[in-house]
Chain A
Amino acid sequence: MEVPYTDTNRPDTGLYNAKVGIWLFLASEVMLFGALFSAYILLRVGAMPGHWPTGLLDVGPGFVNTLVLILSSVTVVMAWASLKLNDFKKFKFYQGITVICALLFVVIKSFEYKSKFTHHDVILKDGMRVDGHLVEETDEFIVLSHPVSYPAEKGIGHRPIAIKEAEDHAHEAGGDHHHEDRKIMLDDIEKRTTWGPWANTYLAIYFTLTGLHALHVIAGALVIAYFWGPGSKMWKTHPDQFANRIEVSGLFWHFVDLVWIFLFPILYLL
Chain B
Amino acid sequence: MSGHSPEEIKKSIRSYMMVFGVLIVGTIVTVLASFVDFGSSTANIIVALIIATFKASCVALIFMHLNAEKKTIYMTLGFTWFFFLGLMVLTIWASEDKPNYTVAPNDTPAVMAAPSEPAAH
- Which residues does A use to contact B, with CB under 8 Å? 13-15, 19-20, 23-24, 27, 30-31, 34-35, 37-38, 41-48, 51-53, 59, 63, 66-67, 70-71, 73-74, 77-78, 81, 84-85, 120-121, 123, 129, 152-153, 155-157, 190-194, 196, 198-202, 250-251, 254-255, 257-258, 261-262, 264-266, 269-270
Chain A residues, CB < 8 A from B84: 30-31, 34
Chain A residues, CB < 8 A from B72: 13-15, 20
Contact residues of B between 78 and 121, Cβ < 8 Å to A: 79-80, 83-84, 87-88, 90-92, 94-95, 98-109, 112, 116-117, 119-120
22 contacts between A and B (CB under 8 A): A19-B73, A23-B77, A37-B88, A38-B91, A46-B98, A47-B103, A48-B101, A48-B108, A52-B103, A59-B31, A70-B20, A70-B23, A70-B27, A85-B9, A152-B112, A155-B106, A156-B103, A191-B106, A254-B59, A261-B52, A264-B52, A269-B31
Using known A-B contacts A31-B83, A121-B106, A266-B48, determine if residue A45 contacts B95 with beta carbons closer than 8 Å: yes
Using known A-B contacts A23-B77, A48-B108, A67-B27, determine if residue A200 contacts B70 with beta carbons closer than 8 Å: no
- Which residues does B use to contact A, with CB under 8 Å? 4, 6, 9-10, 12-13, 16-17, 19-20, 23-24, 27, 30-31, 34, 41, 44-45, 48-49, 51-52, 55-56, 59-60, 63-64, 70-73, 76-77, 79-80, 83-84, 87-88, 90-92, 94-95, 98-109, 112, 116-117, 119-120
